[in-house]
Amino acid sequence: MSRPATRRRSSFSRSVFVGTIVFLSLPLFVLVLYSFNASKSGSWTGFSLRWYVKLFTDSPQLWRAFGNSAIVALSSALVATVIGTLGAVAVNWYKFRLRAYLRTITFLPMILPEIIIGVSLLIFFSGIGMRLSLFTVFVAHVSFNLPFVFLLVLARLEEFDFSIIEAARDLGASERQTLLKVILPLSMPGIVSGFLTAVTLSLEDFVITFFVTGPGATTLPLYVYSAIRFGVSPVINALSVVMILGTVLLTWSTRNFLKYIAAK
Amino acid sequence: MKGSDVVIEHVRKSFGDFKALDDVSVGIRKGEFFSLLGPSGCGKTTLLRIIAGFESPEGGAVLLDGRDVSPLPPDARHVNTVFQNYALFPHLSVFENVAFSLRLKKAPESEIKAKVAEYLQLVELQAHAHKKPSQLSGGQKQRVAIARALINEPSVLLLDEPLSALDAKLRQHMLIELDSIHDKIGITFIYVTHDQQEALSVSDRIAVMNAGEVLQIGTPQEIYESPATDFVAKFIGETNLYEADVASVSGETVDLSVDGFGTVKVTATEPPPVGSRVSWTIRPEKVRIGLEEPKSARNGINAIAGVVDEPIYSGFQSKFYVRTPSGLVLKVIKQHADWSDDGPEIAWKDSVWLSFSAEDAYIVEVKR
Amino acid sequence: MKRVPGSSGAQGGLYAAPSIFWLSVFFLAPLAIIVAYSFLTPGARGGVEWTPTLDAYRAIANPTFAKVTLNTILVAIGATAITLLIAVPCGYYMARSERQTLLLMLIMIPFWTNFLIRIYAWIAILGNEGFLNDILLATGLAKQSVRFLYNRGAVMLVLVYTYLPYAILPLYSTIDKFDFSLLEAARDLGASKLGAINKVLLPNIKGGILTAFLFTFIPIFGAYAVPLLVGGTESYMLGNLIADELTKSRDWPLASAISLVITLVTTIGVLLLLRANGNAVLGGSGDGEPAVSEPAAAIGGSR
């Protein structure tokens, strides 16, 4: 009942919000605009699709980087999801030594700046004599993805009444059967969103990857970085637009997928 | 008498297409315990919020002691509200919640201490001053809300369904407490509720509202005994409400011919002309029920035969649904007295006689 | 406490083992190594000599580093303050709106782009041949290109841009849980609009404000890519210093020592805030559940 009166009152917050949206979307608008620019220089000279053509036909390095990103994202997300889910199940439903320790070491990576994780891993890898490669990138990505999966699955598990586990045991399910037939299906939405978050985080990551990557293990963000540093080609603009569309599509299908899972 | 009189003149308010208040006028007297009673969505809370200043009316005026306060913001009105969900500040202790408005006024510490103590005593919460709202029970929260609203010494206290979150027993208790607080401080109380029992038991006067309109304003007795509309009759207490045609009129006694049922004598202060279509009512507790035909069929007594369709026993009383040969069903409530008065027990399918005085039956609305 | 009945620690320990192993080896052990390295002597071409020394910490204290540290603190405080000043009204507006999902999408969509591409977009806007200069030159507001990039202002702008949603989301979810009738109660008791916000809204969303603070201050304090790409020499931050010591000067003990300082500042800051507020900080409005995962995960973590 109070809504109509208060809506009028929030005109200050409304203008701040509108300003923020403009501020946030301005760069995207400029990217889209310049991706259709005919000239190579910054200024607008006319409409053209040449950068899209170049992106899809003549950018082998870019696609190699994209392939690396995809490999690292999928593999690290998969491993982080399996490990993190088991950890969340353990913390939520079991008593064991090191429970408090596990909670702490899943929390810490989330509050530390990325550069610390990147630098410490780099020093660690060279300290144990591990050559930097796509594999070290994979290891690093699992490390920062794991806490996110852990927390997302844990949040899902916490919604459930413990009595369902007791019911499963009461009805004769073993520990393993309880895990497979009750706990995992229930936590599926948390697991799926954990996995997808991990994929996204991994595709996004620049700072950590920058430190732990080795020769030939360029990921897409690293490629974009070197493009920015050592001469921008407007292909980047076209790539950005394609990536935005890709993310929109991915997010949209994820939402539907999650809805579908939740409804099951 | 302390407090203010509150006059609401032709107030209108709509939310989108929904008319919350449609030309509402109410006069509330100084020091009165006044209830706004109606089903949810009837506009009573909107009216209260307009008086408090949280909503502004689209037309009309709200006068406090004759002064139009409709353009004033809530903080500039000498009116305080007890909110439905208490709206206690969770970050402040009971003491600080109550002290809130004094601190805004930058009152000296000694005055704050003394007044907060005084008002906490009024609501019997001295022992809980240091607690946070989350540590209180529902009834205690309610009392903090009351003390907090009263400390400003408002001339009008608005109460928005203050008891709806409490359980039935506590509600009874708080109602009595509210009444005694009202007696003690003597300011105007405007009380919004959908519970007719609450309204009847504490109010000096009641405004019954429905669909954005005020249907009737009167004392609890007036509202109960002579409802102005069918809606009021049905909303307040239990009732039997039927339609009939006026057959004949003699003085204030009217003979009605009830469809498929025969003639019933009722009372009307301003009898409608013969041939009018009317609705009439008889309260269930005003109907006597017995196994034998009433002996003295004196003038002004209606006697009707019927069969008990459904007896409902509830300890101190029984309710009977009695079906007459024509199919009309009357509700009857019989209070259980002692054995000598109670008569033989009436059971399911018994043939019974119902009787009621013409003086207890009223014409409610004239339909045409 | 809910626990699986009749199960000893064995089953839970089995499930927890992979997580514990992975994070101990690939998160905690590396941290322990930089602690150790920070007390050692730098090796000739990277690496360390096993001779204990406090040289690295002495180096941190020298004026060049002190200047960078000061700049880092200034940028972090400034950018965080601006971010919060924008984020509180935004979160408030979103929480009061009836189209929350839509508004949430509007905030999120720009963040579906890669972190670097967003930085690049700002270069495309602010650069000498960028969008803004195009407009300025075309409209005649400027005679020649204005240099917007490669200074502290550009760094702060892009940092605010990058971390704004991290502040808006926790604030929005906290304000959304706030009972707005409390504002009416305050008004009813004689508070002005601003008074009600100060005395009732802000104290009750303190948890959200602190979460938003942590989500912005910490990553900005450890920022690396933004000052590298849009900053100049004078807007160098600690993150850049670490990278330089690591890859250019090859002074690993020094890089470790600086990392350790950042780690300590961050951890101690979080602990202090947690203590000051019970569980309220990371639990949004104090319900004890970590709210960290929700917004951070929603953004997709472009730190």
Which residues of chain C lie closer than 8 angstroms to B104, CB-CB? 189-191, 195, 199
Q: Is C252 buried (19+), middle (13-18) or exposed (0-12) by CB count in 10 A?
A: buried
Q: For the residues B213-218, what does the mean pLDDT come to?
A: 94
**Pick from C179, C184, C190: which is nearest to B101 by CB?**
C190
Residue-wise pLDDT for A127-175, tens only, equals 888 999 999 999 999 999 999 999 999 988 888 777 667 677 777 677 7
Same domain for A16 and A66: no
Same domain for A113 and A11: no
Domain with C134 in it: what CATH number? 1.10.3720.10
Same domain for A122 and A10: no
Same domain for A225 and A135: yes
In the predicted model, is pLDDT for residue A30 greater than 90?
A: no
Beta-carbon-side half-sphere exposure of residue B189 (alpha carbons within 13 Å): 29
The total of structural domains in chain C comes to 1
Size of interface A-B (CB pairs under 8 A): 13
Min Cα distance A18 → chain B (Å) is 24
Computed over every residue of chain B, the mean pLDDT equals 88
Q: For the residues B264-291, what does the mean pLDDT come to?
A: 88
Element (H, E) at C133: helix C131-139
Pick the more confident residue, B300 or C19. C19
**Pick from B53, B81, B89: which is nearest to C182 by CB?**
B89
Beta-carbon-side half-sphere exposure of residue B132 (alpha carbons within 13 Å): 4
Q: Return the biggest CA–CA distance within chain B.
A: 77
Report the residue of chain C nearest B83, measured CA to CA. Answer: C185
Domain with A125 in it: what CATH number? 1.10.3720.10
The answer to whether position C87 is within a domain reads: yes
Where helices occur in C24-62 by DSSP H, the ranges are 29-37, 55-60
The answer to whether position C122 is within a domain reads: yes
The per-residue pLDDT for B296 is: 63
Which residues of chain C lie closer than 8 angstroms to A146, CB-CB? 19, 22-23
Which residues of chain A lie closer than 8 angstroms to C164, CB-CB? 20, 23-24
Superfamily covering domain B6-234: P-loop containing nucleotide triphosphate hydrolases (3.40.50.300)
Specify whether the CB–CB gap between C201 and C178 falls below 8 A. Answer: yes
Whole-model pTM: value is 0.77
Asked if C188 lies within 8 A of B149 by C-beta distance, the reply is: yes
Same domain for A188 and A98: yes
The per-residue pLDDT for B232 is: 93
Which residues of chain C lie closer than 8 angstroms to A9, CB-CB? 193
Computed over every residue of chain C, the mean pLDDT equals 84
In the predicted model, is pLDDT for residue A32 greater than 50?
A: yes
Beta-carbon-side half-sphere exposure of residue C97 (alpha carbons within 13 Å): 19
Same domain for A70 and A22: no
In the predicted model, is pLDDT for residue A254 greater than 70?
A: yes
pLDDT tier at C287 (50, 70, 90 boundaries)? very low
Report d(CA B259, CA B302) in Å as an integer: 16
Report d(CA C96, CA C183) in Å as an integer: 12
Same domain for A206 and A128: yes
Residue-wise pLDDT for A6-20, tens only, equals 444 458 899 999 999
Region of B227 on the Ramachandran plot (φ > 0 left; ψ -120 to 50 alpha; else beta): beta
User: Is C23 near chain B, with CB under 8 Å?
Assistant: no
Residue-wise pLDDT for C22-69, tens only, equals 999 999 999 999 999 999 988 877 778 888 888 888 888 888 888 898
Show me where the domains of chain B are located: 6-234, 238-289+298-366
pLDDT tier at A257 (50, 70, 90 boundaries)? confident
The per-residue pLDDT for B349 is: 82
Q: For the residues C273-298, what does the mean pLDDT come to?
A: 47
Same domain for A11 and A128: no
Which residues of chain A lie closer than 8 angstroms to B49, CB-CB? 1-2
Share of chain A above pLDDT 90, in %: 39
The per-residue pLDDT for A93 is: 80
Report the residue of chain B nearest C198, measured CA to CA. Answer: B104
Q: Which residues, at least 6 apart from A2, have a Cβ–Cβ distance to it below 8 Å? A: B49, B54, B55, C180, C181, C184
In the predicted model, is pLDDT for residue A120 greater than 90?
A: yes
ipTM of the complex, rounded to two decimals: 0.87
Asked if C301 lies within 8 A of A232 by C-beta distance, the reply is: no
Pick the more confident residue, B351 or B368. B351
The per-residue pLDDT for A2 is: 38
Residue-wise pLDDT for B18-32, tens only, equals 889 999 999 999 999
Determine the residue among B50, B55, B85 to mutate to test chain A binding: the one whose Cβ has the most chain A Cβ atoms within 10 Å.
B55
Query: Mean pLDDT lowest for which of A231-245, C24-38, C92-106?
Result: A231-245
Specify whether the CB–CB gap between B13 and B50 falls below 8 A. Answer: yes
Residue A2 has a CB neighbour count (10 Å cut-off) of 15
Chain B touching partners, 3 or more CB pairs below 8 A: A, C
C-alpha pair distances (Å), C163 with each of B213, C94, C114, C129, C217:
52, 17, 13, 26, 9
Most confident of A76-80, B99-103, C205-209: A76-80
Chain B positions touching chain C (beta carbons under 8 Å):
52-54, 73-75, 79-81, 83, 85, 87-92, 100-101, 104-105, 148-149, 152
Q: For the residues C153-175, what does the mean pLDDT come to?
A: 93
Same domain for A169 and A75: yes
Q: For the residues C167-182, what does the mean pLDDT come to?
A: 91
Report the residue of chain A nearest B15, measured CA to CA. Answer: A4
Q: Which amino acid is at C206?
A: K
Write out the two tokens for C282.
Answer: 């990371």
Asked if B45 lies within 8 A of A1 by C-beta distance, the reply is: yes
The answer to whether position C74 is within a domain reads: yes
Chain A touching partners, 3 or more CB pairs below 8 A: B, C
Residue-wise pLDDT for C260-277, tens only, equals 989 998 888 888 877 776
The answer to whether position C229 is within a domain reads: yes
In the predicted model, is pLDDT for residue A232 greater than 80?
A: no
Chain C touching partners, 3 or more CB pairs below 8 A: A, B
The per-residue pLDDT for A185 is: 83
Q: For the residues B207-225, what does the mean pLDDT come to?
A: 93
Residue range(s) defining the domain that contains residue A72: 60-263
Portion 220-279 of C in contact with A at CB < 8 A: 221-225, 229, 239, 242-243, 246, 252, 255-256, 259, 262-263, 266-267, 270
The total of structural domains in chain A comes to 2
3-state SS class at B111: helix
Share of chain B above pLDDT 70, in %: 97
Dihedral sign (CA C24, C25, C26, C30): positive
In the predicted model, is pLDDT for residue A63 greater than 70?
A: yes
Report the residue of chain C nearest B158, measured CA to CA. Answer: C188
The per-residue pLDDT for A37 is: 85
Residue range(s) defining the domain that contains residue C183: 52-299
In the predicted model, is pLDDT for residue B46 greater than 50?
A: yes
Q: Virtual CA dihedral for A44, A48, A51, A53, nearest 10 degrees?
A: 180
Strand (E) positions, chain B?
6-15, 18-28, 33-37, 59-64, 67-68, 79-82, 156-160, 188-193, 205-210, 213-218, 240-250, 253-258, 262-267, 277-282, 288-290, 301-313, 317-323, 329-335, 351-357, 361-366
The conformation of residue B368, written as its DSSP 8-state character, comes to -
Give which of A3, B73, B85, B62 is closest to C191, Cα–Cα.
B73
The per-residue pLDDT for C86 is: 96
Of 2.40.50.100, 1.25.40.20, 2.60.40.420, 3.40.50.1820, which CATH number belongs to B238-289+298-366?
Answer: 2.40.50.100
Write out the two tokens for C131.
Answer: 């969008």
Q: Which residues, at least 6 apart from A41, have a Cβ–Cβ distance to it below 8 Å? A: C129
Chain centroid offset of residue A158 CA: 23
The per-residue pLDDT for B199 is: 92
Q: Is A94 buried (19+), middle (13-18) or exposed (0-12) by CB count in 10 A?
A: buried
Report d(CA C91, CA C165) in Å as an integer: 10
Same domain for A29 and A83: no
